[in-house]
Amino acid sequence: MNTDKIFLYASVFVMMGLSDAAIPVLPELAASNHISYGPIASSLLFSSYFLGALVTMLPFGILADRHGNIRFIFLGIFLTVISGILIIVSNDLWILSIARFIEGSACGAFFPAAFSMLSEFKNRNRCIGEFNFLLNGGLATGVVISGLLATTSIKGGILIFTIASVAVLLLALPKLIHPKLSTTKHAHKKISEDILIEVKRTLSTLFDSRFINIWILSFILFGSTGVLVAFYPDYSADVLAKTELSAAIAGLYVSAMITSLLVGRSLIRYNTMIRAGMGISAIGALLAIHHPMSGFIILGAGSGIAMVGLPLAASHMDTDRGLAMGLFNTCTYGGLALAPLIAGLFINYLGFVSIFLISALILSTSILVRLDQ
């Protein structure tokens, strides 16, 4: 296999593993300074990560077009290591939130550059499928290891993936010195390009009628999934043990791994992938309310399909790939950041079940959104 792809795949695996190692123990992390903030604190720790990605994804995507992808991939790994260290050494809710924000910023640096490079490889459908396979593999592994270690060490899973991130950081150093990995066609654009023109170009792409539905669906898919993952630890606290919770959430990622790998190797059109993925995800979100294992597995299966279709749709846009992938990832992380925060404002009034039902309804109606081939 191409060594550049191996490097990308290893990076996304450890970064996602560290990000999800916090999920099963969110309530414990939120109360680790002996103050109980309840579900709102859990949603803060969950969303801080995605807020970091949200505010950095687009500018880093644009900068990657100018300065080369490898620098931002290295920056992403470096910030991941810093965030892991902060989470390990601190129990303060606000420092933990800052650490999660930094961890999200690492994704903001990494993903636009990574997707931009993947779109340049031959057989990009297959590469994106493999990348998403390992992305979800890291998420699943992180949540499982963290859940298994939770009874003896709340931060045990976070420690393991922080060490793994350090190893990948060291492997990244030769790539930074000899940046063969950067293949973007626009890496050598002049920095002096008028910033107002750049902002105008970005906004015109964001609100372009040909593309806006892709951004909307990306926000909905990841936002609805994020609501379930963020609140399920509190929702199931008196019903599921940490190992059972971890197994259920891991089922989401494992099924997403399988479907993303399969559809990435298929000839299915991206608009069909997106509609099928959104519909299946809606069924899973509804089922997860009372049947977590089967519900999360089905939710993951639908997400895996749509997770291939959406970046493929973005990669066909008539614009810079760094910009397109930056916008795509901004919308996905926007959903993951904002949807749980918005849901958290209403959780005490509507309850968990109503919030989950609303998420499933939004997913189901999204299949009606028009997509151009």
For 51-78, write each residue's pLDDT tens digit: 898 888 878 877 776 777 788 888 999 9
Answer for the pair 292, 282: CB distance below 8 angstroms, yes or no. Answer: no
Residue 292: what residue type?
P
Compute CA distances 43 → 56, 195, 234, 288, whole Å: 20, 35, 10, 19
The pLDDT of residue 182 is above 80: no
Residue 39 is predicted with a pLDDT of: 64
Residue 36 is predicted with a pLDDT of: 55
Residue 176 is predicted with a pLDDT of: 67
Answer for the pair 83, 171: CB distance below 8 angstroms, yes or no. Answer: no
Q: What are the b/e assignments for 65-103, b being 16+ CB within 10 Å?
A: bbbbbbbbbbbbbbbbbbbbbbbeeeeebeebbbbbbbb
Residue 247 is predicted with a pLDDT of: 87
Residue 164 is predicted with a pLDDT of: 93
Q: How many Cβ atoms from other residues are within 10 Å of residue 171's Cβ?
A: 14
The pLDDT of residue 230 is above 60: yes
Answer for the pair 260, 308: CB distance below 8 angstroms, yes or no. Answer: yes
Domain boundaries, the chain: 3-178+209-367
Answer for the pair 256, 307: CB distance below 8 angstroms, yes or no. Answer: yes
Q: What residues have CB less than 8 Å from 149, skipping those under 6 apart?
A: 156, 157, 160
In terms of phi and psi (left: phi > 0; alpha: psi -120 to 50; beta: otherwise), the region of 209 is alpha
Highest mean pLDDT among 115-129, 184-198, 272-286: 272-286
Residue 191 is predicted with a pLDDT of: 46
What percentage of the chain reaches a pLDDT higher than 70? 88
Residue 214 is predicted with a pLDDT of: 86
Helices (H), 21-68: 26-30, 39-67
Q: Which CATH topology does 3-178+209-367 take?
A: Growth Hormone; Chain: A; (1.20.1250)
Residue 284 is predicted with a pLDDT of: 95
CA distance 324 to 313: 10
Answer for the pair 340, 352: CB distance below 8 angstroms, yes or no. Answer: no
Helix (H, G, I), strand (E, B) or coil at 154: coil
H/E stretch holding 14 reads: helix 3-20
The pLDDT of residue 319 is above 60: yes
The pLDDT of residue 41 is above 60: yes
Q: What is the pTM for the complete model shown? A: 0.73
Residue 186 is predicted with a pLDDT of: 45
CA distance 40 to 288: 21
Helix (H, G, I), strand (E, B) or coil at 240: coil
Measured at the alpha carbon of residue 331, what is the angle toward residues 326 and 334, in degrees to the nearest 5? Answer: 120
Q: How many Cβ atoms from other residues are within 10 Å of residue 128's Cβ?
A: 25
The pLDDT of residue 275 is above 60: yes
Q: Which residue has the tokens 């989470």?
A: 87
What are 107-165's pLDDT values in tens digits?
Answer: 989 988 888 787 777 777 778 778 888 888 898 899 889 888 888 888 889 999 999 99
CA distance 341 to 334: 11
Residue 285 is predicted with a pLDDT of: 94
The pLDDT of residue 193 is above 60: no
CA distance 277 to 367: 9
Q: How many Cβ atoms from other residues are within 10 Å of residue 208's Cβ?
A: 15
pLDDT class of 181 with cuts at 50, 70, 90: very low
Average pLDDT, integer, range 266-295: 91
